[in-house]
Structure 1
Amino acid sequence: MKRIIFFVFLLLLLLLTYCTLNKVPHNEELRESVFFIVKDKSNTEISMNTLTDFDWDKGFLIPPYSSQESIDKQLGVHFSDPSSIDFRDDIYLFVFMKDNEVVQYVEMDVQDAKFTLGGRKYLTPLDDVIIIERY
């Protein structure tokens, strides 16, 4: 009986450690910055590199109702969508990557706007502008 309890405890500890190590940070500070930029109806762009304080080399815009399969295909890696965007129309996800690993993500509130990358597949720190189109 003690062996079973020890084994279950060890298994839970490993599972907890694994989940903690693989958790990608949701950048709330960046979400708030984007929110206030979009709230000002005179703004037509968001320069992501000026708002970030971490290293990234690619930024991907994930539109509402995107499936897990389409997210993985767009990023080229698996990213467990924590927002359930496949059922939501109130946010866009912006996923930051560094060396083909997801490092942070942001849930960007729609606020009666559509976000685009102007035909690009992803942003880079040197080409970092998200276009805001108003309804």
Structure 2
Amino acid sequence: MLRKWILLIGGAALTSLILSFFFVNRASEDPMLARKILERAESGTTEISLSTLTDFDWEKASVYGPYTTVDVIEESLNVEFKGSINGIDFREDIFLLVFAKGNHAIKTVVLSRKVGNYYEKNGMLTPKNDLLIIKKLLKTTLYWSCHAPPPAAAADWAAFAQSIATTSDTRSGSISSSTIINW
């Protein structure tokens, strides 16, 4: 009987240890903070003081753009990152704001690119240097008429698409020649 109790207590301790490995010091997502930042950005604000919006202790933060990997986040913040990066490593429609305290990321905020791109004002964000910059995207709409003659060659479409992608405030490749050619 004593042996069963020892095995039961040992099993519970081992299970707790394994679960704590996955959940202790895990960065949690903060959708309320994301909503506050998005509301300010949509109202036209281009600089946001993060200290006025945060209700938790943090020492440093950084904002990461599309295609950022966990390795880049860990290296740039000098932290161990546990938590979700919400697919930022393969998505281009979001930025990820990561807050850290000590050697751990503590909070993440998913920022939609529908209002713009996000940057730090003067390098690494801290409670004293806390300005998040929002650069509004230029909205470029491409209209063409079905009655207009198509370009003579596919290369013309490719050059046209490239000139739009490089002269507007959009990511290169957001308009691809294959999208335009295959109409």
Secondary structure of the residue aligned to 2:29 is: coil
Percent of residue pairs identical? 32
1:97-121 Cα shifts (integer Å, max 9, x gaps): 1223222121111123011113x33
Given that residues 38 and 111 in structure 1 are in contact (C-alpha distance below 8 angstroms), is that contact kept between their aligned partners in structure 2? no
From 68, 90, 94, the equivalent of 2:93 is 90
Determine the structure 1 residue equivalent to 2:119.
116
What TM-score results when the alignment is normalised by the length of structure 2?
A: 0.62
> Distance between the aligned counterparts of 2:118 and 2:82, measured in 1?
22
Q: When you count strand as a share of all residues, which structure comes out higher?
A: 1
Determine the structure 1 residue equivalent to 2:28.
25
Quick one: structure 1 residues 13 and 55, their matched pair in 2 at CA, closer, same or farther if it must change by over 3 Å? Answer: closer
Whether 1:15 and 2:18 are equivalent positions in the alignment is: yes
Secondary structure of the residue aligned to 1:133 is: strand
Whether 1:103 and 2:106 are equivalent positions in the alignment is: yes
Secondary structure of the residue aligned to 1:86 is: coil
Determine the structure 2 residue equivalent to 1:53.
55
- Over the aligned positions, Cα root-mean-square deviation in angstroms equals 2.4
- What is the one-letter code of the residue matched to 1:95? V
Compare CA radii of gyration and give the structure with the larger one: 2
Q: Can you give the 5+ residue segments of structure 2 that lack an aligned partner in the other structure?
A: 1-6, 138-183
Higher RCO (C-alpha 8 Å, min separation 6): 1
Determine the structure 2 residue equivalent to 1:131.
133
> Distance between the aligned counterparts of 1:108 and 1:125, measured in 2?
19
What TM-score results when the alignment is normalised by the length of structure 1?
A: 0.82
Secondary structure of the residue aligned to 2:106 is: strand
Secondary structure of the residue aligned to 1:36 is: helix
> Distance between the aligned counterparts of 1:107 and 1:6, measured in 2?
40
- What is the one-letter code of the residue matched to 2:133? I
Quick one: structure 1 residues 93 and 13, their matched pair in 2 at CA, closer, same or farther if it must change by over 3 Å? Answer: same
Secondary structure of the residue aligned to 1:105 is: strand
> Distance between the aligned counterparts of 1:51 and 1:38, measured in 2?
13
Secondary structure of the residue aligned to 1:18 is: helix
Quick one: structure 1 residues 130 and 16, their matched pair in 2 at CA, closer, same or farther if it must change by over 3 Å? Answer: same
Whether 1:35 and 2:33 are equivalent positions in the alignment is: no
> Distance between the aligned counterparts of 1:64 and 1:27, measured in 2?
19
Secondary structure of the residue aligned to 2:28 is: coil
Moved more, 11-20 or 125-134: 11-20
